[in-house]
Structure 1
Amino acid sequence: MSELKARIVSALVLAAVVLTATLAGGWLFAAVVTMIAVIVWAEWLDMACPGCDDRIRLLGVVLLGLLFVGALILPNGGMALAWAVATAAFVLVAMGFSGERWSVAGFLYSGLTLVALIMLRESGDAVSGLIAILFLYAVVWATDIGAYFAGRAIGGPKILPVVSPKKTWSGGIGGVVSAIFAGIVVLAVARVGSPGLAAILAVVLSVVSQIGDFFESWIKRRAGVKDSSRIIPGHGGFMDRVDGLVFAAIALWATSLAGGGFERPSSAFFGG
């Protein structure tokens, strides 16, 4: 019971911080996203390559910090180029150290998280960026909640027990159904798109978020740890909380670029 209370309190505090930053947008949202990306970077290294050179650790933090500065001074479309340059710089330096391929993967993981979320949220005077991020949150959070309760209530065959022994097909389907409902509600309240669009996006993002969850479970199993860290009472680490969000955010960002362009990708699905 005490652990459950800790989980609830931690979840409410984190949700309040994230939602406040999301509503505010601008530098506050960029700062919170960068903080999460830096923590995820550190947790990744602790799990995937605990013997990583400290200079590589510091380089990742510095480059993520520079991406934050870029978010403040560059046009939104320039963030993708800034990420490409930062990633290229990281790879070139990491090549000089032995056994750093996992650090490269970690920088891609954390750096793409930062850039995808910031570029989706930034929309100038339009509200499409805010709607995009709120839709993303609703779908991912509904997936987690729906999968948890459906899995516990129905149970049944496991999806991939060698990686995550508790996740069931019933939970996965319950997560998708919950995501569809949440996505339709968000777009209906925002008065953009259509129920069909909301349902299609919700299904795709829900499935991708669950893949992200399995991916992080695989990383943890490989490292022989239960949680990515113990920074959040009752929850573990930030990677444990944002694994699905990371994959879903990157997927939504990548597909949105084709329709909305680099300056305002959120306009592809969430209005002009």
Structure 2
Amino acid sequence: MKTRAITGFFFIAVLIGAVLLGPYVFVSLFSLIAAYCVYEFYRMVHTENTQPLVFLGVGVAALGLILVDMVLLGLLSYAVLPLGVTAVLLLYIAALFRKTVHPIQDVAYSLFGLIYAAIPFGFFMSLGFVNGIYNAYIPLGFLILLWTNDTGAYLAGRSIGRRKLFERISPNKTWEGFFGGAVFAALAGFILSYYFGILPLWCWVCMGLIIAIFGTLGDLVESMLKRNVGVKDAGNLLPGHGGLLDRFDGLLVAAPLVYLFLKSIL
């Protein structure tokens, strides 16, 4: 428990620092995190019969993220983004030269790793530029709402949790925990509206509810994935917490939807 607490403290401090230190640090750190999450995914699903193109897949993810970063920072135009999509074709071609048992399955897992673990971080980083110029308070608020939801769900589930949410996938999650997390996230959104004035109160509360719903689903999706491949954690990079995918599972589903919500109203 002590190791978990220490790791969690420094992990949160690094993330908050990266958001507050400006756009270059923000996109650089989260691009590295995204690329490592893709690597964790490939390592997690790798078996004798499933061999994703690890290095090429991570390279394609890194290239795509770098292009997104440069567009967000105003160094390149949106016209370069198709280059990242075109690079995906390298996965098809490379599979021709590998003597593996199931090459199409390998390509499928390689592509899914990009969709699941890389693209959502592009949406998350875009939250910092949703108004065209960098504003740290929106991605920082997102992270605070995500952590608040997790904390509220844990406390409510531990104290009053009775009815299982998805017992087949995650036996410890309960409906009481889910609603407790949603209440905590909505209250956090209410508080953030006073300290982070960039968005109106109703926007922050809606963000909290979106994160509560889809962040929980993201957690369940990763639990389903880990059960499918028979592992407890996605990695061991963070002592007491597992891998980076284990810490960002909620973000992977919630971030694209929060970005689309904000773009539709701003």
Normalising by structure 1, report the TM-score. Answer: 0.84
Question: Against the structure 1 CA distance between its residues 182 and 50, is the aligned structure 2 distance closer, same or farther, given a 3 Å change threshold?
Answer: farther
8 Å contact 1:80–1:115 — kept in the other structure? no
Q: Deviations over 1:38-70 (max 9, x none)?
A: 11101111223445557x211222223323432
Aligned to 1:223: 229
CA distance in structure 2 between the partners assigned to 1:152 and 1:230 by the alignment = 25
2:36 counterpart (33, 36, 39): 39
Question: Against the structure 1 CA distance between its residues 153 and 23, is the aligned structure 2 distance closer, same or farther, given a 3 Å change threshold?
Answer: same
CA distance in structure 1 between the partners assigned to 2:162 and 2:112 by the alignment = 34
1:240-259, aligned counterparts within 5 Å?
A: 240-259=246-265
1:234 counterpart (213, 234, 240): 240
Point out where structure 1 has 5 or more consecutive residues left out of the alignment.
260-267
8 Å contact 2:33–2:244 — kept in the other structure? yes
Report the Cα offset of residue 132 of structure 1.
1.2
Q: CA RMSD in A?
A: 2.4
2:14 counterpart (11, 14, 17): 17
CA distance in structure 2 between the partners assigned to 1:199 and 1:125 by the alignment = 23
8 Å contact 2:72–2:126 — kept in the other structure? no
Are 1:154 and 2:152 counterparts? no
1:48 counterpart (23, 42, 45): 45
Q: State the identity %.
A: 27
Query: In structure 2, what residue type is equivalent to 1:60?
Result: G
Q: Deviations over 1:166-220 (max 9, x none)?
A: 1000000000000001111112112243333322221122101000000000000
Point out where structure 2 has 5 or more consecutive residues left out of the alignment.
96-102
Question: Against the structure 1 CA distance between its residues 83 and 125, is the aligned structure 2 distance closer, same or farther, given a 3 Å change threshold?
Answer: closer
Query: In structure 2, what residue type is equivalent to 1:113?
Result: P
Are 1:208 and 2:205 counterparts? no
Report the Cα offset of residue 124 of structure 1.
8.3
Are 1:61 and 2:55 counterparts? no
8 Å contact 1:134–1:186 — kept in the other structure? no
Query: In structure 1, what residue type is equivalent to 2:24?
Result: W
Question: Against the structure 1 CA distance between its residues 80 and 132, is the aligned structure 2 distance closer, same or farther, given a 3 Å change threshold?
Answer: farther
CA distance in structure 2 between the partners assigned to 1:110 and 1:43 by the alignment = 9
Normalising by structure 2, report the TM-score. Answer: 0.86
8 Å contact 1:142–1:175 — kept in the other structure? yes
Question: Against the structure 1 CA distance between its residues 133 and 29, is the aligned structure 2 distance closer, same or farther, given a 3 Å change threshold?
Answer: same
